[in-house]
A = this chain, B = another copy of it.
Amino acid sequence: MVNTLFLPELREMLAEDNSAELLEFCTALNAGRTAEFMEGLTEDEMWRVLQFAPPDRRVEIFGYFEEPRQVDLLQTQDAAEVAALIERMPSDDRVDLLQQVTPERFQAILPLLPAGDRRDIQRLRSYEEETAGALMTSEVAMLSESLNVRAALDELAKQASDLETIYYLYVVDDDSRLRGIVSTRQLVSSLRRPDRTLGDLMETDVVVAQVDEDQESVAEKVERYNLLAIPVVDQSHQLLGIITHDDVIDVVRDELTEDAQRIAAVAPLEQDYLRIALWTLSYKRGIWLIILFFAALLTAFALEHYHDEISKYVWLVSFIPLIISAGGNSGSQSATLVITALTAGEVELADWKKVLSREVIVSMVLGIFLATIGYATALFMAPTPLAAMVIPLTLVAVIIVGCFFGAALPMLFQRLGLDPAMMSNPFVAGIVDILGIVIYINIAQLMLG
């Protein structure tokens, strides 16, 4: 829903080059809302409006545009103006965006930046994706432990506008190795004893992220310890940067969305659904569909094998989809519950016996219930009430098998160091489909033949 409320006025102001009113527009509301009112403009218009805002405000408003638009603007607008904007952006955000412009464009912008920013960008670009290094910002308040409260506040006042967050102060030694942290809360609480030093105040047992640590593990720490930001260090405990809480929410969201997609047998998109190339989308879905397809082909061969039995009892055919889907649905329920419980840390591998025994009990309850309905239906189609018993017996067996494998495979894959969300569904579906057919025909042979 694009907000078009101010578009005519904005265009008129632009036509008149009315800098006073455009400045007023850029500063009167909060930056997020200002950005929303600009969404309906063309990119050239957006960029022109931005130029009327004070530089810090410009960066702030720009930060609320949608990411693809941000990339387009950096790609197409005046290089000097773009460089001026990039210079003031948070260091993690600008690197993210610069990864997405063309290499030619990147090389055109880079020389226009001050040497310090250039080095910072090159350094952050060198960290591998999905690690702490790739998420962090290098703007961080590093102070010495000999500073007292009053001096620390003054120092902070000087730096505050350049830093992404000032909610922790990081105390470092001369080699910028992390010694401890002081929260702004502690600093403010100590205002009445302004001669205490940061060394007196600091907490030395600090939760840190290693620069090459996986982003999910970092997010877990931030969540577990309710941190606003986590410091990122290298092997020698040198402080390289911090990761802030808003980046962590993004990681949690991405991680869980990937889980949901993997559970449905789609390789994680890693891009917006509407923006991803159709070719890539086909590929990411195709690989799993093909694996699932081969699993289903096995059922075709199994059924072919029982060709003679089927010719004899054609009424059994009507129930094939029912039986397969009962097993598949209960299996995918179990798999999803176990996967989400593993992700949330509610279940650990050590709980496997408990999980499996719960699944078996639940599947018996569900199986007996569905079998009763199934039997009532089978009575209409089967030649005798005894023959109809094939259906409920098969249903109970297939649902137990579905729940058992649905719960067991994610834990097995986790145990083997594989992603439970990624691997389980196709295997659960494949195993349950084929076992379902085999169980069905064998129960039928036993009962009828």
Which A residues contact B (CB, under 8 angstroms)? 1, 28-30, 32-33, 64, 153-154, 156-157, 160-161, 165-167, 184-185, 188-192, 203, 205-207, 223-226, 228, 245-246, 248-249, 252-253, 256-257, 259-261, 263-266, 269, 272-274, 278, 281-282, 285-286, 288-290, 292-294, 296-297, 299-301, 303-304, 307, 310-311, 314-315, 317-322, 324-326, 328-330, 332-333, 335-341, 343-344, 346-348, 350-351, 354-355, 358, 361-362, 365-366, 369-370, 373-374, 377, 381, 429, 433, 437
Contact = CB atoms under 8 A, between A and B. Distances in A.
Nearest to A251: B249
A274 B188 contact: no
A267 to B, nearest CB: 10
Most B Cβ at <10 Å: residue of A314, A325, A341: A325
A336 B264 contact: yes
A311 to B, nearest CB: 5
B322 A320 contact: no
Contact of A337 (B33, B266, B332): B266
A298 to B, nearest CB: 9
A261 B355 contact: no
Given A256-B257, A273-B346, A285-B362, A336 B300 contact: no
Contact of A260 (B153, B203, B263, B348): B263
Contact of A321 (B252, B288, B299, B311): B299
Contacts of A330: 285, 289
Given A166-B188, A257-B343, A329-B429, 15 more contacts: A1-B348, A30-B203, A32-B224, A33-B207, A153-B191, A167-B228, A257-B340, A274-B347, A274-B358, A281-B358, A289-B333, A293-B326, A293-B374, A304-B381, A320-B320
A333 to B, nearest CB: 5
Given A30-B205, A355-B274, A286 B369 contact: yes
B225 A228 contact: no
Contacts of A315: 304, 307
A337 B269 contact: yes
A28 B278 CA distance: 56
Nearest to A304: B318
A50 to B, nearest CB: 18
A343 to B, nearest CB: 8
Contacts of A192: 154, 157
Given A259-B260, A274-B346, A205 B28 contact: yes
Contact of A437 (B292, B296, B321): B321
Contacts of A207: 30, 32-33
Give the one of A191, A301, A326, A429 with max B CB within 10 A.
Answer: A191
Contacts of A259: 260
14 contacts: A30-B207, A154-B191, A226-B246, A252-B256, A260-B336, A260-B339, A264-B337, A274-B351, A282-B362, A293-B326, A294-B373, A297-B373, A301-B318, A321-B437
A358 B301 CA distance: 34
A139 B156 CA distance: 26
A364 to B, nearest CB: 9
Query: Which of A290, A318, A365 has the most CB atoms of chain B within a 10 A radius of its CB?
Result: A318
Contact of A256 (B245, B248, B256, B296): B256
Contacts of A253: 223, 252, 256, 344
Contacts of A285: 330, 333, 362, 366
Smallest CB-CB A-B distances: 4 pairs: A264-B336, A256-B256, A273-B341, A303-B318
A29 B370 CA distance: 54
